[in-house]
A and B are shown apart, each in its own frame.
Chain A
Amino acid sequence: MASPRHRNPVLAVIDAPWARPVGLLVILIAIWDLSVRIFQIPAYLIPTPWDVMLAFRNDGAMLAREAVPTTIATLAGFALSAAIGIPLAMLIAGSRTIEAYLYPLLVFSQSIPKVAIAPLFVVWFGFGIVPKVISAFLLGVFPVVVAGVQGFKSVEADMRDLARSMKASRLQTFAMVSLPHAMPAIFAGLKVSVTLAVVGAVVGEFVGSNSGLGFVLQRSIGNFELPTMFAALIVLALIGVVLFWVIDLVERLIVPWHASQRHDAFVTV
């Protein structure tokens, strides 16, 4: 899409793709600030944006420090989700028997609230990184499996016939047809997965940890330090956004041919 070129630099900034969400954010913050003032909401219920900003100034270093274990747990859980979820999706899509046995159980297990069983992991694995990673993995793996199964299964009948007519081996069919075909769906699943992995890591930290943003959240609520809690939430959201954005970037590199990725990349070819 060719965006109109503005001579006026102010208009050019307003038209930039990043400016729109930022603009909306500014408006939301203004509404937040105004509502707190107009309805005179006490600071122990909702802090003002200014209070949160101060919390960033005072506790910024602490938040940055605590963000590290959360991010590590998120990434580890996410990596596990991808490493186990994608092959699992392959198996489920490839065999009716495996699908019949496994898929219903998977859906069933997904309905168990992770917050409820997270303490169990602490009992099993102690106050380390392991319970967090498991909880991030448990939340992150399901979208990868569901999206992967759908991707692998949506290969058209004609496409399968084409592969068979060329006497393609199972491996060839998989590598040349099924896997590339499933890639866009897998990436859609990975994007959901990474944001859920953040939630999973925080849940893990909630129930059994003395480090990480989840722990900060827990502690600041207990101490009625609402500005700090809001600041921690914002950092968490930022982690999610950055990870999402990184996967989006990788997707652009790996599946540039997909309809959702057809930007300017090929128009110049």
Chain B
Amino acid sequence: MARPNTLRVIARNEGPSARRRLIDIRGLAKTYRTRDGEVPSLKPMDLDITEGEFICVVGPSGCGKSTLLKLVAGLIPASAGEILIDGKAVTEPPDDVGIVFQSPVLLAWRTVLRNVMLPVEVRRLDRASHLERARQLLKTAGLNGFENKYPWQLSGGMQQRAAICRALVHDPKIVLMDEPFGALDAMTREKMNLELQRIQYETGKTIMLITHSIPEAIFLADRVVVMTDRPGSVAAIYDVPLPRPRALDMMASPVFAELAKTIRGHFYAQGHLD
């Protein structure tokens, strides 16, 4: 694949100040109120995400990663603190956001194309122009020829790709992904990482991706956010000094290995093998 070899190195001190802040998380905390009492899930945390940045969040199971994502998506209210997107406080699901869940959640009674078009129908956007984009996205995702199939006729990886197309169909500035590749086999997962990396590189979307896999996080992210044990909070943030576009063999580079070791250290120190 011939592509301009633009190298974008994010150095530690280049910092967010150089670019525009898109998502501002300020003192954000969440405590679920349940019948058996209160479940603290997020300790007050701060995080800035700049426009066009790829953020990966790793942390022990149950530390509040999904909670953080749902808060940013405006699906649940915060107990304290606030989230600003483009300077506007998130009180309801913002329009400029696409979400990919851990499972594809495709509607079984809709064909792949109509599933991808669902956000367009629900939001009553212009059908013709978005249909064009939907087809284009499906083609990019290697799903051309499957537009009129039903989800159950697709493999797990293909379904998840369709779900990613659905999240992108209204061309949101921000894409939130909660362990989108968790259910896939290692090989499909690597391929999807490569594709996602390419899409983000070409479109400059701001992506926040939650994962259990440290190599996946490092391979994809500009910055990796490591969370503490429950109730979660930011333990550390690491810049990934790898040039883009990235190739899979970068996983063998010393920089990669060093970073993986450092991040893994967090979980061993906390007594967790994530």
Contact of A262 among B99, B122, B123, B152 (CB under 8 A): B152
Q: What are the residues of chain B within 8 A of A161 when measuring CB–CB?
A: 70, 73, 75, 99, 101
> B157-169, CB under 8 A of A: which get 1 and which 0?
0000000000000
CA distance A266 to B149 in the complex (A): 9
Min C-beta distance of B252 to chain A, whole Å: 35
Q: What are the residues of chain A within 8 A of B118 when measuring CB–CB?
A: 166, 176
Residue of B with least CB distance to A161: B75
Q: What are the residues of chain B within 8 A of A164 when measuring CB–CB?
A: 75, 93
B-side interface size class: 20 to 34
Q: Please tell me if the beta carbons of B73 and A165 are within 8 angstroms of each other in the complex.
A: yes
Q: What are the residues of chain A within 8 A of B95 when measuring CB–CB?
A: 167
Q: What are the residues of chain A within 8 A of B150 when measuring CB–CB?
A: 257, 266
Instruction: Say yes or no: is B86 at the interface (Cβ < 8 Å to chain A).
Output: no
Instruction: Say yes or no: is A49 at the interface (Cβ < 8 Å to chain B).
Output: no
Q: Please tell me if the beta carbons of B107 and A176 are within 8 angstroms of each other in the complex.
A: yes
Q: What are the residues of chain A within 8 A of B121 when measuring CB–CB?
A: 176
CA distance A163 to B107 in the complex (A): 11
From known contacts A166-B118, A172-B122, infer whether A269 and B148 are also in contact, taking CB-CB under 8 Å: yes
Instruction: Say yes or no: is B102 at the interface (Cβ < 8 Å to chain A).
Output: yes
Q: Please tell me if the beta carbons of A167 and B109 are within 8 angstroms of each other in the complex.
A: no
Instruction: Say yes or no: is B140 at the interface (Cβ < 8 Å to chain A).
Output: no
Instruction: Say yes or no: is A258 at the interface (Cβ < 8 Å to chain B).
Output: yes
Instruction: Say yes or no: is B103 at the interface (Cβ < 8 Å to chain A).
Output: yes
Q: Please tell me if the beta carbons of A158 and B148 are within 8 angstroms of each other in the complex.
A: no
CA distance A108 to B99 in the complex (A): 43
Residue of B with least CB distance to A257: B109
Instruction: Say yes or no: is B269 at the interface (Cβ < 8 Å to chain A).
Output: no
CA distance A164 to B122 in the complex (A): 10
Interface residues of B in 141-161 (CB under 8 A from A): 148-150, 152-153
Q: Please tell me if the beta carbons of A266 and B153 are within 8 angstroms of each other in the complex.
A: yes
From known contacts A158-B101, A162-B99, infer whether A176 and B122 are also in contact, taking CB-CB under 8 Å: yes
Residue of A with least CB distance to B101: A158
CA distance A167 to B152 in the complex (A): 26
CA distance A156 to B123 in the complex (A): 21
> A95-111, CB under 8 A of B: which get 1 and which 0?
00000000000000000
Residue of A with least CB distance to B98: A165
Instruction: Say yes or no: is B119 at the interface (Cβ < 8 Å to chain A).
Output: yes
CA distance A176 to B109 in the complex (A): 10
From known contacts A262-B152, A269-B148, infer whether A163 and B109 are also in contact, taking CB-CB under 8 Å: no
Q: What are the residues of chain B within 8 A of A167 when measuring CB–CB?
A: 92-93, 95, 122-123
Q: Please tell me if the beta carbons of A258 and B108 are within 8 angstroms of each other in the complex.
A: yes
Instruction: Say yes or no: is B105 at the interface (Cβ < 8 Å to chain A).
Output: yes
Q: Please tell me if the beta carbons of A259 and B123 are within 8 angstroms of each other in the complex.
A: no
From known contacts A164-B93, A166-B119, infer whether A158 and B149 are also in contact, taking CB-CB under 8 Å: no
Instruction: Say yes or no: is A14 at the interface (Cβ < 8 Å to chain B).
Output: no
Contact of B75 among A165, A176, A258 (CB under 8 A): A165
> A250-266, CB under 8 A of B: which get 1 and which 0?
00000101110010001
Instruction: Say yes or no: is B97 at the interface (Cβ < 8 Å to chain A).
Output: yes
Q: Please tell me if the beta carbons of B102 and A165 are within 8 angstroms of each other in the complex.
A: no
CA distance A163 to B105 in the complex (A): 10
Q: Please tell me if the beta carbons of A180 and B109 are within 8 angstroms of each other in the complex.
A: yes
Q: What are the residues of chain A within 8 A of B101 when measuring CB–CB?
A: 158, 161-162
Known: A162-B105, A165-B99, A257-B108. 7 other contacts (CB 8 A): A164-B75, A165-B75, A165-B93, A167-B95, A167-B122, A176-B107, A257-B109
7 A–B contact pairs at CB < 8 A? A158-B101, A159-B105, A166-B93, A167-B122, A176-B118, A183-B109, A257-B152
4 tightest Cβ-Cβ pairs between the two chains A and B: A166-B122, A158-B101, A257-B109, A165-B93
